[in-house]
Amino acid sequence: MSDFPKFDGSQKTFGAWLSKGDHWYCYSEAWRWRESLGCISTFNFKGLAAAWWARLTYEQRTEETQDWPTIREFVCRELMSIRWIEKEWQEFRVLWFRQHGHEEETPAVFLACKQLHQQRLLPIFLDADPEQCALEVGNLWLHMPMVWNACINIDECPTLAMLIKLSMDREEQLLASLATTSNSVARLVRQEVQRLNAQNPGPCQQFSSHLADIEEDYPPAETPTLSVESKSSGDKNLHKAPGKYPYPFASNQSRNTPPQPC
């Protein structure tokens, strides 16, 4: 089938292959065509994926292509590495509301974007039971801003469609809660910084006050001196250093000429 994206076993082509299969399976009106989607999705296997698929037994290929959810889960488990799963979870977790490049994003659009990432890892289809739909809503809501819990009760949203609709109806409340929280956090941070500065001045302030204390105490009122008052001796042969010298020469200094080298 030419419209189905090619899958060569790489992470890049696998994402497109999953997205297209999920879309056709959920939105196709022909039930028989939906049942054959599992087999059709393998027609465009190329490279590594084609070599892996060709080495499976006929019984395996027949069993795993019964429908789209079956072949989807089989390829994820048997062909894709654990690195792909870790990469998808990481991308899902780092996706935040109104991050850089999405400053005008609405809560409903953010929920839909998060759901597309979660769908790759935890697919929920139209024929899923209510417990799986509720689990999808709960897992997705865990990654929303916590302040939104005051505006939306997820117990009122058994499906993701109802959650997106409710987020559109209460968009102003959700945005206002974020703005109020941001202002409160900023005010608390300023108060904490002022309190810490009052208790523990910064390095520059401490250094300035320390210098001020030194300047006030300098010069000291009484500074002990190490100089020794020398009394005039009657010995006229004592050496006298020019100028004032606080220490007298040693009295046991020899006057003999030191020995010369050989």
Can you spell out the DSSP letters for 43-108? TTB-HHHHHHHHTS-HHHHHHHTSSHHHHHHHHHHHTS-HHHHHHHHHHHHT--TT-TT-TT--HH
Q: Which of 222, 221, 224, 240 is nearest to 232 (CA)?
A: 240
Q: Which of 233, 258, 226 is nearest to 250 (CA)?
A: 233
What's the confidence (pLDDT) of residue 219? 43
- The whole-number average pLDDT for the span 235-252 is 58
Amino acid at site 251: S
101 membership: H or E segment, kind and range: none
- The whole-number average pLDDT for the span 110-127 is 88
What's the confidence (pLDDT) of residue 234? 52
Q: How far apart are CA 174 and CA 54, in angstroms?
A: 52
DSSP H helical ranges for 94-237: 107-121, 130-141, 160-169, 171-199, 203-216
- Binned at pLDDT 50, 70 and 90, residue 259 comes out as confident
Mean pLDDT, all residues of the chain: 78
Q: How far apart are CA 28 and CA 126, in angstroms?
A: 11
Q: Which of 45, 34, 44, 43 is nearest to 68 (CA)?
A: 34
- Binned at pLDDT 50, 70 and 90, residue 125 comes out as confident
What's the confidence (pLDDT) of residue 124? 87
- The least confident of 35-39, 182-186, 255-259 is 182-186
- The least confident of 24-28, 40-44, 68-72, 189-193 is 189-193
Cβ 144 vs Cβ 120: under 8 Å: no
What's the confidence (pLDDT) of residue 220? 44
What's the confidence (pLDDT) of residue 32? 64
What's the confidence (pLDDT) of residue 25? 87
> Per the structure block, which two tokens stand in for 157?
């949203």
What's the confidence (pLDDT) of residue 208? 41
Residue 261 has pLDDT above 90, yes or no: no
- Each residue of 75-101: pLDDT tens digit? 999 999 888 889 888 989 888 898 888
Q: Which of 136, 47, 28 is nearest to 38 (CA)?
A: 28
Q: How far apart are CA 153 and CA 59, in angstroms?
A: 48
Range with the largest mean pLDDT of 53-57, 141-145, 229-233: 53-57
DSSP string, 204-217: HHHHHHHHHHHHHT
Q: What are phi and psi of 184, to 5 degrees?
A: -65, -40
Q: Where are the domains of the chain?
A: 11-80, 97-173
- The least confident of 24-38, 110-124, 129-143, 224-238 is 224-238
Q: Which of 129, 143, 7 is nearest to 72 (CA)?
A: 7
